[in-house]
């Protein structure tokens, strides 16, 4: 289970075989958080990942069956595109979307749940992979949690090679 | 970016199998022949060869030129790409959330000043 209680810290968990969960407490009411998460003019200001990326393209048709597409760009011209459809939307508490990076990539289901307490919002983002293998392959080489010994050794190997 | 993504997909697919991960770990200790690689597993030679082909296609192992032994060696470049990507995934949300914290403060202040004007 997730235990994110402090603002400013992202809790990471793998609640079951196919999921990855990010939880963060945000110091704002959830209707603001929901807007920040679902309106392109807001999304383009923050959902940018590490320094150096911008989001020149951002479109989301916020209704069941509507599609979304985000394109990120780095200063050197590298681009990354993601898209999918909206499966469920219940402002200001729930947004379920599918996400795919490209035809070769497994489609994930991303569920954002917002709960509010005392003016603060807990945002729980759950990414569901099509299989345990797909999730593990995506996670285990680079992350610490739940690693089997052979993956731990792979990590060691990677450190040596760096 | 598309090419990099496809490389990642085939690396992930190759790493998803425990036998193939064990083979990679054995190769991390040095080159080995197919026979040596097959020894620890209770599976047939052809089954091991199949795993080796998947690893080879993913660019994770290379085949030696010596005709008789043809030892396999590990090529860790795709592994590094995978590790970087998985790290990025987490960093992506950490960095984005940090920015969202600041941005929400800005939205709250904006809302407050709108209220004050009304």
User: What tens digit of pLDDT does each residue of B9-18 get?
Assistant: 677 778 777 7
- Total domains in the fold of chain A: 2
Shortest CA distance from A9: residue in chain B: B94
DSSP code, position B62 = E
A91 and A141 in a single domain? The answer is no
> Same domain, yes or no, for A58 and A105?
yes
In a domain, A53, yes or no: yes
Query: pLDDT tens digits for A105-125?
Result: 678 999 999 999 999 999 999
Q: Where are the beta strands (DSSP E) in A35-128?
A: 53-60, 67-74, 79-90, 94-99, 108-117, 120-128
Residue A142 within any structural domain of the chain = yes
Q: Residue A31: inside a domain, yes or no?
A: yes
The set of residues, in sequence order, having a beta carbon less than 8 Å from that of A21 and lying 6+ positions away, is: A2, A11, A12, A13, A14, A15, A124, A125, A126, A127
Q: Are residues A16 and A61 in the same domain?
A: yes
pLDDT of residue A87: 98
The rounded radius of gyration (Å) of the Cα atoms in chain B is 24
Is A55 among the domain residues?
yes
Asked if residue A47 is part of any domain, the answer here is yes
Q: CATH for B2-117, among 3.30.70.360, 1.10.10.10, 3.40.50.720, 2.30.30.100?
A: 1.10.10.10
User: Average pLDDT, stretch A92-112?
Assistant: 86
- A154 closest CB neighbour out of B25, B85, B103: B25
Residues A56 and A136 in one domain: no
Q: Which CATH number covers residue A81?
A: 3.30.530.20
Closest partner residue to A141 (CB to CB) among B82, B90, B103 is B82
Q: What is the DSSP string of A83-109?
A: EEEEEEEETTTEEEEEEBSSTTSPPEE
pLDDT digits (tens, 9 = 90+) for A11-64: 777 778 788 888 889 999 999 999 999 999 999 999 988 788 899 999 999 999
Considering Cα of A80, then B93, then B79, then B15, what sign does the dihedral take?
negative
Whole-angstrom distance, CA of residue A137 vs CA of residue B13: 7
Look up the domain containing A23 and give its range: 11-130
Instruction: Give the angle A35-B89-A156 at the CA atoms, nearest 5°.
Output: 160
Task: Write down the pLDDT at residue B71.
Answer: 81
Question: Considering only CB atoms, which chain B residues are within 8 Å of A114?
Answer: none
Asked if B2's CB is within 8 angstroms of A134's CB, the reply is no
* 3-state SS assignment for residue B61: strand
Residue B90: list chain A partners with CB under 8 A.
10, 12, 142-143
The residue that leads in pLDDT, A95 or B63, is: A95
B110 to chain A: closest CA residue: A32
Residue A5 lies in a domain: no
- Contact across the interface for A47 and B105, Cβ inside 8 Å: no
A41 and A84 within one domain: yes
The reported pTM is 0.63
ipTM above 0.90, yes or no: no
Residues of A in contact with B88 (CB under 8 A): 49-50
Task: Answer whether A86's CB lies under 8 Å from A63's CB.
Answer: yes
């Amino acid at each position: 289970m997730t235990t994110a209680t402090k603002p400013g810290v992202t809790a990471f968990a793998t609640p079951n075989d196919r999921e990855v969960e990010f939880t963060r407490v945000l110091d704002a009411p959830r209707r603001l958080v929901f807007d920040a998460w679902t309106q392109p003019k807001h999304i383009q200001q923050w959902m940018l990942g590490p320094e150096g990326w911008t989001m020149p393209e951002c479109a989301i048709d916020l209704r069941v069956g509507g599609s979304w597409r985000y394109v990120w760009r780095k200063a050197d011209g590298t681009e990354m595109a993601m898209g999918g459809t909206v499966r469920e939307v219940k402002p200001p508490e729930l947004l379920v979307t599918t996400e795919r990076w490209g035809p070769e990539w497994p489609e994930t289901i991303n569920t954002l749940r917002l709960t509010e307490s005392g003016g603060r919002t807990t945002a729980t983002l759950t990414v569901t992979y099509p299989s345990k293998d797909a999730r593990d392959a995506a996670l285990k080489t680079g992350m610490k949690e739940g690693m089997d010994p052979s993956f731990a050794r792979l990590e060691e190997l990677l450190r040596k090679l760096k | 970016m598309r090419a990099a993504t496809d490389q990642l997909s085939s690396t992930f697919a190759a790493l998803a199998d425990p036998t193939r991960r064990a083979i990679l770990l054995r190769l991390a200790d040095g080159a080995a022949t197919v026979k040596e690689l097959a020894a620890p597993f209770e599976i047939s030679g052809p089954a091991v060869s199949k795993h080796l082909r998947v690893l080879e296609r993913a660019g994770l192992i290379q085949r030696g030129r010596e005709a008789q032994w043809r030892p396999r060696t590990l090529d860790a470049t795709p592994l590094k790409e995978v590790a970087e990507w998985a790290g990025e995934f987490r960093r992506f949300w950490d960095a984005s959330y940090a920015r969202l914290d600041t941005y929400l403060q800005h939205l709250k202040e904006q809302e407050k000043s709108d209220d004050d004007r009304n």
